[in-house]
A and B are shown apart, each in its own frame.
Chain A
């Protein structure tokens, strides 16, 4: 089973992602940047879904850049799912390394399709 990393600190969002993707992916939930470096940075994931606003020392964008630099994740697609709906945010997120940028609230089916398209 493919592995998915969800970097998200909102409980409700985590629950929903779990509900959507639990049948297809083995899902790890990371709630802060610190937690990422502590537990998940060595694991090879097929896909990473992450928010821009996360707890921790660095925000989602910064974390995204670092993940992209990491040779382990060179080929790992990142789906950026965030409530930051400003148009420029899309550009910033793509620049930082996101492969797909979706804003909340997002249709479940669209989200699923988007993940499928990345694999």
Chain B
């Protein structure tokens, strides 16, 4: 257990360490930073070594170059010394060297060509003080009348430059100059004299120097003794000295060309003796404008007899160049670059931004492919007729296509980076931004946003889809939008909608039912009135239904049959009159027209129908027809009636006219008896005629409503009794018994006269058609509603079944003679019927031939309360 724990502990520790390591090394910042520092440090180390190397290299080179300078100067000096020795050889070879010889010899040396910097070669003679005058005279005698030794003054010893070649120009100024008068020269001449060696003077100003370009100079002296080279001691030399051959040098000219083609890459300064000051400066190659103290330099001394020069050779940038490229600076730059590169690579590796080298090629290929793809995408984006854009979360356009840029009248580059609020009016931008925010927060695409867009090119209706832009890590980084210009569509939809609305208004407001069905007789639409007829409120409800689902399902087949005929034949069916059951249970009549419904290609796609509700018209028509029929019938009835009446009226007149005519023509032919009989007959005919006329008049009054109809309460029995009284005599003659069973106090509300007339008629008829010893029975019957039924029954001949139906009909005017030949007008029952119907009652008869007849009539009762 313990072991296990330890193991666990160790494991844990290792694990922790590993984790820590992993944390450190995989950290996206620490590891690259670490790499950067290490690389920089290594760079620094290498650079440092390179700098040190460079320095020593530089120093060595400078050393080499300064040696070179030294050697060259020394060599040149030696060369000039040699010349002087050669001149001395001339003096030693001849006892007396005159001016011409000196000149010849000098010219043979070709000094100008071979020895640059040399001003000339001269001979200065030592003149003992006592021989001065002679000397001047000698020289003046040579032709130089102006000759003198200068500078003037009393000195211990005099010297004079008597020869100086080339003897022309500035050199003429040195003629007769006493160089012993000047300490620097004197010192060098003295040293040369004592050492019998060429001696170089210190810094002097040559007497030839005039004007602006004054150069410092120096001189080289070589002593000439009597007896040549035999003088070994200083004393002998001083004793035998004749003079000095010498050469004056301008320092600049002397140094010129000394360094050859490489002269410009080092800076050389030469100082007289060993103090480095401006006073002692003899030469400055001026390769450095400012004397750089820190520049590496080599100091060398060049020793001559009696003098020395200090040569300073200094580093110049040109030297650096000549040395070749400075590795240190390269190392520094390359090192820093590499450090940065390493850091970036590390960072990229840590952040998994690059693939392994093995995949690199593939990656590059993919990248180029991707680029091509992107270009193609851009081309595609730019050419699609929609506005495509990609915005960040802050309303800024990151990428747009050309179509979009064009409509905003900007270039793609101008538009990218702009905010919504930069290019759209505030309210619009806010609306767009609101949608964007919605998509950004919900990460749900928002599609088919229809909105107005103002642009420099005008206002457009656009349909926009907005989709969240989600990067590889799943963060929402923006909005991708896709807008279509649907202005034309919106406008045409709008006008279509408007015209549809107008059409709808029209078909809804016309007082017609309009409907249309497809080929399967399913409703496609209808107007409002139609929908209401069908039992719906909105025309939309009808769409998709058929006639079986309508209020008129009973007539569905009837209608559909017509629909099918119209669709099959392509022929319209117009003005079909057909019934319809309405949803509220009424039956109405329609006048329908159906025409084939065509599409724009002229194909039949269904049926279009319209109809009117002609129920009222139909009812009116029917009413009219009915009344017309009635009227016609009435007219026919009356025609017939009047033809009968006409007959009944004519007949008696025929008798009167003819009989009276006969009687008048031949009175003598008539017996008294005959005369009486004819007169009685005519009297009776006249009475009948009068009765007929009276009845006719009454009937006419009833017909035109002018009869006096004044109902009132009266006692039925009273009227019945009066009526019986009028026919009592006649009944008595025939032996007929009249039994009245109508009781007392039977009050009726009616027109007394009319009811009396009816009763008399019925009783009269009963007496007429009843045999001798017959019986007539009057009865009344009261109903609960107050109505009363009165009946007059006889046991007479009765009426045939056919005639029972005819007796109350005007057109059938029936008249029969009574059992004893009693006449009748044939109008009696018709009048009864009119009178009873005027009271709102009924009259009818029941009869059996040879058994008897019973006539009934009823009168409406009246509520007792209403009586009084």
Question: A residues touching B (Cβ–Cβ < 8 Å)?
Answer: 9-13, 15-16, 19-20, 31-32, 52-53, 55, 57, 82-86, 89, 103-106, 108
- Expressed in whole angstroms, the minimum distance between the Cβ of B29 and any Cβ of chain A is 135
> In the bound complex, how far is the Cα of B660 from the Cα of A12, in angstroms?
11
Binding site for A on B (CB under 8 A): 643-644, 646-659, 661-662, 677-678, 681-682, 684-685, 800, 815-817
Are A11 and B662 in contact (CB-based, < 8 A)? no
Distance A106 CA – B661 CA, assembled complex (angstroms): 11
| Known interface pairs A15-B681, A16-B658; 7 further A-B residue pairs with C-beta atoms within 8 A, sorted by A's residue number | A11-B655, A11-B681, A12-B659, A13-B654, A53-B647, A57-B800, A105-B650
Are B650 and A13 in touch, CB under 8 angstroms?
Answer: no
Q: Are A83 and B681 also in contact (CB < 8 A) when A12-B659, A105-B658 are?
A: no
Q: Contacts A12-B655, A55-B817: A82 and B662 contacting too (C-beta < 8 A)? A: no
Q: Select one of A31, A55, A57, A84 contacting B815, CB under 8 A.
A: A55
Chain B binding surface SS class: helix
- Chosen A-B contacts, 30 in total, with CB atoms closer than 8 Å, are A10-B651, A10-B655, A10-B685, A12-B655, A12-B681, A12-B685, A13-B654, A13-B655, A15-B655, A16-B654, A16-B655, A19-B662, A20-B658, A52-B647, A53-B647, A53-B648, A55-B815, A55-B816, A83-B646, A83-B648, A84-B643, A84-B646, A84-B647, A85-B650, A103-B650, A104-B651, A105-B658, A106-B654, A106-B658, A108-B662
In contact, A105 and B657 (Cβ under 8 angstroms): yes
A104 partner residues in chain B, CB cutoff 8 A: 650-651, 653-654
Q: Are A83 and B662 in contact (CB under 8 A)?
A: no
Docked pose: A32 CA to B819 CA in angstroms: 13
Contacts of A16 in B (CB 8 A): 654-655, 658-659, 662
Q: Is the CB of B648 within 8 A of A19?
A: no
Given contacts A11-B681, A31-B817, A55-B817, contact A83 B650 (CB under 8 A): yes
Q: Which residues of A contact B643 (CB under 8 A)?
A: 84, 86, 89
Whole-angstrom CA separation of A75 from B659 in the bound complex? 31
Q: What's the Cα separation between A16 and B800 when bound, in Å?
A: 32
A53 x B650 contact (CB < 8 A)? no
> By the criterion CB–CB under 8 Å, are B658 and A108 in contact?
yes
* A11 and B659 contact, Cβ closer than 8 Å, known pairs A104-B651, A106-B654: no
- In the complex, the answer to whether B815 meets A12 with C-beta atoms within 8 Å is no
- Set A12, A19, A57, A86: member contacting B654, Cβ < 8 A: A12
Q: Which residues of A contact B682 (CB under 8 A)?
A: 12
Interface hub of B656, B657, B815 (most chain A Cβ within 10 A) = B657
Smallest beta-carbon distance A27→chain B, Å: 15
CB distance from B440 to the nearest CB of A (A): 106
Could you say which residues of chain A place their CB within 8 Å of the CB of B662?
16, 19-20, 108
Flag if A105 contacts B644 (CB, 8 Å). Answer: no
Q: Which 7 A-B pairs have the closest CB atoms?
A: A12-B655, A83-B650, A104-B654, A83-B647, A105-B654, A16-B658, A83-B651
- Do A12 and B816 touch across chains, with their CB atoms under 8 A apart? no
A11 near B647 with CB under 8 A, answer: no
With A and B bound together, what is the CA distance between A13 and B643 in angstroms? Answer: 19
Across the interface, which residues of A come within 8 angstroms of B652, CB to CB?
10, 12
CB distance from A97 to the nearest CB of B (A): 20
CB atoms of B651 and A12 under 8 A apart:
yes
Q: Are A105 and B653 in contact (CB under 8 A)?
A: yes
Measured between beta carbons, the chain A residues less than 8 angstroms from B678 are 15
B659 touches A15 (CB 8 A): yes
Q: How far is the CB of B410 from chain A (nearest CB, A)?
A: 107
Q: In the complex, what residue of chain B is closest to A53 when comparing beta carbons?
A: B647
A15 to B676, CA, bound (A): 13
Q: Which residues of B contact A105 (CB under 8 A)?
A: 650, 653-654, 657-658
- Complex Cα spacing A83 to B642, Å: 12
**Chain A contacts for B654, CB-based, 8 A:** 12-13, 16, 83, 104-106
Tell me the bound Cα distance from A106 to B681 in angstroms. 19
Instruction: Tell me how far the C-beta of B249 lies from the nearest C-beta in chain A, rounded to whole angstroms.
Output: 186
Nearest chain A CB to B188 CB, angstrom units: 196
A108 to B647, Cβ gap below 8 A? no
**Bound CA–CA A53/B651 (angstroms):** 10
Nearest B residue to A17 by beta-carbon distance? B658
Name the distance in Å between A92's Cβ and chain B's nearest Cβ: 11
Chain B residues near A108: list those with CB within 8 A: 658, 661-662
Q: Which of A12, A20, A55 contacts B656 (CB 8 A)?
A: A12
- In angstroms, Cα B815 to Cα A57, docked, is 11
Contact in complex: B659, A19 (CB < 8 Å):
yes
Nearest CB of chain B from residue A113's CB, rounded to whole Å: 15
